[in-house]
Amino acid sequence: MDPHARIFIAGHRGMVGSALVRELAAQGYRNLVTRTHDALDLLDQRAVRAFFADEHIDVVLLAAARVGGILANSTKPATFLFENLAIETNVIDSAYRAGVQRLVFFGSSCIYPKLCAQPIRESYLLSAPLEPTNEPYAIAKIAGVKLCEAYNRQYGTHYVALMPTNLYGPNDNYDLAGSHVLPALIRKAHEAKLAQEATLTVWGTGEPRREFLHVDDLAAATRFVLEHEVRDGVFNVGTGEDLTIRELAQCIAGVVGFEGELVFDRSKPDGTPRKLLDISKLADMGWRATIGLTDGIRDTYARYAAQQREHDAASNG
């Protein structure tokens, strides 16, 4: 990839977008184009088309999305479906109209059926019903994948879709009303430790198995795809390893230093029983994740704890 290419990172303030900025800047890419939501509302088709017409973008990394965990998905299904559909259709179509040949669309492992063979291959997409708790978000992301495929087939573009497993890392969302399981557990364990609580409640049975990928590994995979001239297709991005939610909670409690008892609230939904991605397509091309889960959680928690100390100091100052 041309090191002077103008690369638009949509959603640069989010966890994925900020990781892409860090990775590309560290590798010498200096022509990175970003816009805040106030400067460019991706839900506004006219504004998005004007942006692409003016900015002469070479590559788009579409990391902007409305995201959240089980609670957020179940309480705001219309928001998740509409906003994600609007963002991806506005950006993909406007990029094509402006002559942008290369685009990377970021989906999610939740696009795959609730009950399918493990590990999950890209070919399993649309082979069975989705997990009901995040169906609106998944449908929107599937539409984005199919939009990339359709534009490639009809217009000859080179739009690639990456399907990361559960992500975590810097700039994650720790709001318990909208966060995913790993950051939610980090926050709950941290607060339980500070309050010297005897127990920490975890949603569900603790039995579902999940795979987790540090967001910096996703950014590295994205750069790999761009620099190796991958021009189309859907690619899973993960570690190829999973663990139970119980094991995850135990790991986080150990890293945080919470010594109380883990209590599992079986009245809360578990979601999909297992989600382990088949990562052979990228692995066969030469890319694998390098950040181990415990090390990644340790680094993530250190950043979170530092931010909380800064927040507390500012509040008391």
pLDDT tens digits, one per residue of 132-173: 888 999 999 999 999 999 999 999 999 999 999 999 999 998
Over residues 23-39, mean pLDDT: 97
The CA–CA distances, whole Å, from 74 to 18, 44, 67, 257 equal: 27, 25, 12, 32
Q: Is residue 269 part of a domain?
A: yes
In a domain, 1, yes or no: no
Q: Identify the active-site residue in 137, 159, 168, 304.
A: 137
Distances (CA, A) of 308 to 72, 162, 191, 296, 301: 23, 32, 10, 18, 10
What average pLDDT does this structure show over 226-239?
A: 97
- Where in the chain does DSSP place strands (E)? 7-10, 32-33, 59-62, 102-106, 158-164, 166-168, 199-203, 209-210, 212-214, 233-237, 243-244, 261-265, 274-275
Nearest to residue 64, comparing CAs of 142, 166, 141, 149?
Answer: 141
* pLDDT the model gives residue 197: 98
Mean pLDDT of 302-313: 92
Q: What is the pLDDT of residue 1?
A: 85
pLDDT bracket for residue 47 (50, 70, 90): very high
Pick the closest to residue 204 from 269, 135, 155 (CA basis).
Answer: 269
Q: pTM, whole model, 2 decimals?
A: 0.94
Residue 64 located in a structural domain = yes
Percent of the chain with pLDDT over 90: 87
d(CA 95, CA 9): 12
The sheet carrying 209-210 orders its strands as 243-244, 209-210, 274-275
Cβ-Cβ contacts under 8 Å for 312 (sequence gap 6 or more): none
Q: Domain for residue 2, yes or no? A: no
- Read off the CATH number of the domain in which 303 is found: 3.40.50.720
pLDDT score for 239 = 98
For this structure, is 124 an active site residue?
Answer: no
The CA R_g of the chain, rounded to the nearest whole Å, is 20
pLDDT at 70 over 90: no
CA-to-CA distance for 80 and 315, rounded, in angstroms? 33
Token pair of 88 as six digits: 């991806």
pLDDT, tens digit (0-9, with 9 covering 90-100), for 272-295: 788 899 999 999 999 999 999 999
Residues making up the binding site for substrate: 188, 203, 210, 270
CA–CA separation, 266 and 268 (whole Å): 5
The span from the first CA to the last CA of the chain, in angstroms, equals 48
Distances 295 to 17, 93, 128, 285 between C-alpha atoms, Å: 22, 40, 35, 25
Distance, CA of 122 to CA of 138 (rounded, Å): 14
Closest alpha carbon to 185 in 131, 242, 133, 258:
258
Task: Answer yes or no: is 77 within a domain.
Answer: yes
Q: Which pLDDT belongs to residue 91?
A: 98
**180, part of any domain:** yes
**Which residue in 36, 45, 54 sits closest to 99, CA to CA?**
54
Residue 207: the pLDDT is 97
What residue numbers bound the domain in which 173 lies?
Answer: 7-316
What pLDDT digit, counting tens, does each position of 71-125 carry? 778 889 999 999 999 999 999 999 999 999 999 999 999 999 988 999 999 999 9
- Reduced to 3 states (helix: H, G, I; strand: E, B; else coil), residue 50 is helix
Query: What is the per-residue pLDDT for 134?
Result: 86
Mean pLDDT across the chain: 95
| Number of compact structural domains in the chain | 1
Helix (H) or strand (E) holding 221: helix 215-227
Residues paired with 41 in a beta bridge: none
pLDDT at 273: 85
